[in-house]
């Protein structure tokens, strides 16, 4: 049984392969599967976007497909940037600009609580859908610290890691506690309930 990850993000590929490797004979990225497709992420929630991405790749490939949509939700900004995390500053995937804008919007703000959300959808070639979400809680720092991770990780402070940011801990440690890891483990539980 083959699983196609609806992404070419190297970080996601490693984490998904590590956790779901025992369930599928082969796990490949869209590029490895020879699929060049861009899903229009116009959902109103993380899960709507994840389901749409996975469904489109399952339909194109005739294989199982998995997709996630994730982002950071800041309490003082009423959950923003949320589903717009990757394009918060107006340019998709510009981590530096996104982090700068977040710091600007939080200038003078005391309550800096935030959480990462990850919604994961697994869609079968016949249309079956499994869904799960995971969360990682922390707060937004006042300056970027650390060189690991990506996105908002240099600003995201983890209280259970002694106040280090998600970019200051090792990738292995982050994968152990991350919102994506939690969502993937919950997905395994959902699949287990069905069998």
CA distances in angstroms from 180 to 12, 160, 175, listed in the order given: 8, 17, 8
CB 138 within 8 A of CB 178: no
Q: What are phi and psi of 102, to 5 degrees?
A: -60, -45
Cα–Cα dist 189/173, whole Å: 22
Q: Which two tokens stand for residue 51?
A: 């389901």
Active-site residue, selected from the candidate residues 69, 94, 111, 153:
69
Contacts of 62 (CB under 8 A, 6+ apart): 125
Whether 94 is a known active-site residue: answer no
Cα–Cα dist 154/164, whole Å: 9
Q: List the one residue out of 6, 12, 85 whose CA is nearest residue 39.
A: 6
Strand residues in 54-171 grouped as ranges (E): 64-74, 113-123, 129-140, 156-157
The set of catalytic residues is 69
């Amino acid at each position: 049984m083959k699983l196609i990850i609806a992404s070419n993000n190297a970080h996601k590929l490693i984490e998904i392969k590590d956790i779901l490797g025992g369930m599928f004979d082969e796990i490949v990225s869209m590029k490895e599967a020879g699929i060049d497709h861009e899903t229009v992420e116009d959902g109103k929630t993380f899960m709507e976007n994840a389901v749409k991405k996975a469904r489109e790749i399952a339909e194109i490939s005739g294989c199982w497909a998995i997709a996630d949509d994730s982002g950071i939700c800041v309490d003082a900004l009423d959950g923003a940037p949320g589903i717009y995390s990757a394009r918060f500053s107006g340019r998709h995937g510009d981590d530096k600009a996104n982090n700068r804008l977040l710091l600007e919007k939080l200038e003078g703000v005391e309550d800096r609580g935030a959480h990462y959300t990850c919604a994961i959808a697994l869609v079968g070639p016949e249309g079956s859908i499994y869904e799960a979400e995971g969360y990682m809680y922390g707060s937004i720092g006042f300056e970027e610290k650390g060189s690991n991770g990506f996105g908002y990780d240099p600003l995201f402070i983890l209280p259970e890691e002694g106040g280090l940011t998600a970019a200051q801990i090792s990738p292995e440690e982050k994968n152990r506690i991350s919102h994506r890891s939690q969502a993937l483990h919950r997905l395994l539980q959902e699949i287990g309930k069905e069998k």
